[in-house]
Structure 1
Amino acid sequence: MRHILVFAKTPYTKTPYDQWLAGTGIVPVVLTPREYAQGYGHLPYVHAFDAYDTNQLVEKTALRLAREFDVEAVFARAEADIVRAARLRESLGLKGQHTASALAFRDKVVMKDHLVRGSVEIPAYRQVESAYTILDFVAEHGYPVVIKPVSESGSLGAAIVRDEADLDAYLASPWRGTSEIEVFVPGQMYHVDGLVAGGEVVFVHPFRYLHDCLSFRDDDWVANLPLTRSDPLYDRLVEAARAVLAELPTPPATAFHAEFWITPDDRLVFCEIASRTGGGMISGMVRHAFGIDLDKEWLYAECGLPATIGAPVYRPAGALCIPPRHGLLERLPSAADGQPECVREEMLTGAVGQVFHGGVKSGLFLAGYVVDGDTEDDVAAHLEQVAVWFSDNSRWRPVLSGGGAA
């Protein structure tokens, strides 16, 4: 029997590793957060952890299990696991992404250091060593600037500093650890998602955001919509993604999620790239739009199994993520409330009776949907329709400062 070690920071319904590997002779050995353990409970080898992201017993257990089962590969699809998985592969001498590559795709400063002399424009940037770094950067480049952690995902911790008052408020807040500062880039944001297998890009497609990655801060939804091949930005975005992958130490098997701006004066500017599938409902959208399960195909590539990707047949589809509001969730919409017929996939991450404090990051959501339509315009309209339906059929109660409901 062959084994693969899986860092599974996703619910089983999203990543059914045993189903994907059925018939291959490979058995997954799973490490997962405590809250997801029940979903994986039917698997023979599951180890659950509290405080999964920072619990160093995860690494200790992973090393022990990898040796015990003589695993032939290590798989990790979540941002928090990319570096820990790379270090484990390196320690064991396994193929796949090693530490230098993982850091280049996770640390935004290391990433831009690789790309600064490449063909794709990147914004002026600097690693923040202290408040003096910020003051020097603002003096050189002016406002606005963006300050963000070097290794978070989903715009977590990102701050847009537009003037002196914003700067004073930022500097007065608690120190956030290692950060970078860069000039603010205006414009529309796009993302390019795809898959590398056998060292080659075997799937790549650009998408546009409806709203943007920071919409969650206003408790507003964000959506994703594929670009058509006739869109004038299609080739530019695909070529930019390929150029970035060529400049970075890209592993031979990985999914990727890259983000770019198109500025008002039509410049294409790099934002960031991750060696993983996109967050939110992006994987579901790709599955419905192209018939390709990026997570499954990435797992196969990591295991050295032949790809199951056929010729993609495009069907218009989009993804919608709705963040929680501030308050006690009293009611969630259901199909009985006249759910729009365009919905093809739904994922709810919360439950009635929970207290929420608004959006945390762009990839985390209360409700996620994949919708379809006959055309891209149909899909865009359906995304709006589902967002309105959800708002109209959910109910919230304010929460008092002491924690009780009003």
Structure 2
Amino acid sequence: MTNVAVINYGPKSDYAAMLPELAGRLHVFSHHELANTESFAHYEYVPDCEFVPYAELRIRQLAEEQPFTHLITDNEYDLERAARIREDLKIPGQSSGSALSFRDKAVMKEVARRTVPTAEFARLETIVDLTDFIAAHAYPVVVKPVKQGGSRDISVLRGAEDLLEFSRRHWREDLMVEEFVQGPMYHVDAVLAPGYRFVASSRYVRSCLGVFSGQNNGSIQLHPEDAFARRLEDFFDRVLEAFDTPEVSAYHLEVFHTPDDELVLCEIASRVGGDRIPALTRLTYGVDLHGSWLRQSCGLPVDPPPAAAPAQVHGSLSILPQGRPVRAPRRPPFPWVRRYEVNDKLAPGAVAQNSTSFLCFVIVGGRDLAQVEQRLLQAEAWLMEHLEEVPTS
């Protein structure tokens, strides 16, 4: 009998709606408190679930009473743990080696460079490893943890002063350095399974690292019939040729397009893209990335991806926290705005902590990337003009 363990992160995940056929056989351990859990076989809210081993211990204990047939997670930081449990309990799915190759950015680049270009990189044990790399490859360079996400804890060193400033920080044991690659960044988002293939390409409005210098960020979908979208999809396929991939998986690939017209791998993850990517995908293609991935991971059917080209594509843009007490304005007064949301949980005066930080965000539609970008910039200008200062008394 089907018996499913779930390690959840998303605060809005609704597994009863996503997996209704299996609701009474779900054993869910969640980083955030969830609604609509009454029908589950087992549910526990576990504070700091992704950081503590409780869920892994309990899943192993429960498996002694009734073996699990599937184990799923929506969280990148749980992919290795989930793979380890699967291997120990003989549950099919992504292996530990595969999970590591998509999680550890140094391993990832070692694997990927078999089939596609990557930036030069090195692991860092000491500051001398960093200075040696700079001597060999010159500034600018990017220093980041090998298993972090959302542009967290990334430093761009553009010269000797940046290096000195970086040397004042607490040293970490999980760092790597890589060349800074010039050019816009694109992302490819996909779900692949036997008999199922969905792939969509987008371009970031600005660099994901721009949030740390106050740049609002977001992404814009390419029309699937765009020649560059097809080129990105081909690059994605070549990347995956280098990896041990599970039978069913979601992917989020980030790619630089250099001034020399070369595509260079930034990163690839075996999970659904974050931020507004799932919402944009639903609006344009009617595809639920999480639902398609997790249902097929449990052996459940899904509707095939659309065969016809979409009538519109979409883009999103997030207004960053301003570092001062401000209130987000009302919805922008444009007919092509498809969605507008204000972050009512943001503390007054907050600053951007990572690439997903936002004061508010807007989603717009249009016939192609150029029109969507023009509309996003128009909405951004209106929102920035209408931010309201909040008295601090």
TM-score normalised by length of structure 1: 0.88
Shift of 1:194: 0.6
Post-superposition offset of 1:269: 0.7
Aligned residue number for residue 377 of structure 1: 370
Q: Is the 8 A contact 1:2 1:26 kept in 2?
A: no
Aligned AA for 2:243? L
Q: Report 1:106-185 matches (<5 A).
A: 106-118=103-115, 120-185=116-181
Mapped partners of 1:368, 1:32: distance in 2: 26
- Contact 1:342–1:372 at 8 Å: present in 2 too? yes
User: How far apart, in 2, do the equivalents of 1:347 and 1:87 lie?
Assistant: 38
SS in structure 2 of the partner of residue 326 of structure 1: coil
Distance 1:31 1:347 in 2: 28
Determine helix, strand or coil for the equivalent of 1:132: helix
Say yes or no: does 1:269 pair with 2:276: no
1:165 Cα offset (Å): 1.0
1:21 partner amino acid? L
Aligned partner of 2:335 among 333, 337, 341: 341
Which deviates more from structure 2 when the two are superposed, residues 16-25 or residues 259-268? 16-25
> 8 Å contact 1:148–1:157 — kept in the other structure?
yes
How far is 1:201 from its partner? Answer: 6.5
Of 23-32 and 90-99, deviating more is 23-32
Q: Is the 8 A contact 1:284 1:345 kept in 2?
A: no
Cα deviation, residue 392, structure 1 = 4.1
Task: Tell me whether 1:259 sits opposite 2:257 in the alignment.
Answer: no
Residues 266-320 of structure 1, C-alpha deviations (whole Å, 9 max, x = no match): 1111111000111100011011111111110001111011231242441321222
Give the Cα separation in 1 of the matches to 2:306 and 2:113.
35
Give the aligned CA root-mean-square deviation in angstroms. Answer: 2.4
Counterparts of 1:269-348 in structure 2, within 5 Å, are: 269-313=264-308, 314=310, 315-328=312-325, 331-335=327-331, 339-348=333-342
Q: Distance in 2 between matches of 1:79 and 1:371?
A: 28
2:4 partner amino acid: I
Tell me, what secondary structure is at the counterpart of 1:344? strand
Alpha-carbon displacement from aligned partner over 1:151-208 (angstroms, at most 9, x marks no partner)? 111211111111111111112211133111111111111111111113x761112211
CA distance in 1, matches of 2:207, 2:233: 20
- 2:59 counterpart of 1:62: yes
1:74 CA drift (Å)? 1.3
Give the equivalent residue in structure 1 for 2:5: 5
Paired with 1:397 and 1:115, the residues of 2 have a C-alpha distance of 48
Shift in CA distance, 126/347, structure 1 to aligned 2, threshold 3 Å: same
The CA deviation at 1:123 is: 1.0
Shift of 1:367: 3.0
**CA shift for structure 1 position 385:** 3.4
Report how far residue 85 of structure 1 moved: 1.4
The one-character-per-residue Cα deviations of 1:212-252 (angstroms, maximum 9, x if unpaired) are 21122133321211222453422221111111111011111
In the aligned structure 1, how far is the partner of 2:232 from the partner of 2:139?
Answer: 27
Q: Which moved more, 1:38-47 or 1:154-163?
A: 38-47
Aligned partner of residue 211 in structure 2, secondary structure: helix
Give the Cα–Cα distance (whole angstroms) in 1 for the partners of residues 266 and 252 of structure 2.
11
1:5–1:66 CA contact under 8 A, matched in 2: no
SS of residue paired to 1:139: helix
Aligned partner letter, 1:132: V
Specify every segment of 5 or more residues in structure 2 that has no aligned partner in the other structure, as ranges: none
TM-score normalised by structure 2 residue count: 0.91
Question: What SS does structure 2 have at the residue aligned with 1:351?
Answer: coil
What one-letter code is carried by the residue in structure 2 that aligns with 1:235?
A: R
Which residue type is aligned with residue 350 of structure 1? D
- Paired residues of 1:18 and 1:27 also in contact (CA < 8 A): no
Q: Structure 1 51/71 Cα, relative in aligned 2: closer, same or farther at 3 Å?
A: same
In 2 relative to 1, CA 38–105 (structure 1 residues): closer, same or farther, beyond 3 Å?
closer
CA distance in 2, matches of 1:4, 1:371: 37
Distance 1:232 1:139 in 2: 39
Q: Deviations over 1:366-405 (max 9, x none)?
A: 434432224433322332233334434443559xxxxxx5
Structure 2 residue aligned with 1:17: 15
Instruction: Give, as a single letter, the amino acid of the residue that structure 2 aligns with 1:87.
Output: R
% identical aligned pairs: 31
Query: How many angstroms does 1:38 deviate by?
Result: 4.6
The equivalent residue for 2:79 is: 82
Distance 1:141 1:74, change over 3 A: same
Structure 1, unaligned runs of 5 or more: 399-404
The one-letter amino acid paired with 2:11 is P
2:26 aligned residue (13, 24, 28)? 28
Deviates more, 1:94-103 or 1:217-226: 217-226
| Residues 233-252 of structure 1 aligned to structure 2 (within 5 Å) | 233-252=228-247
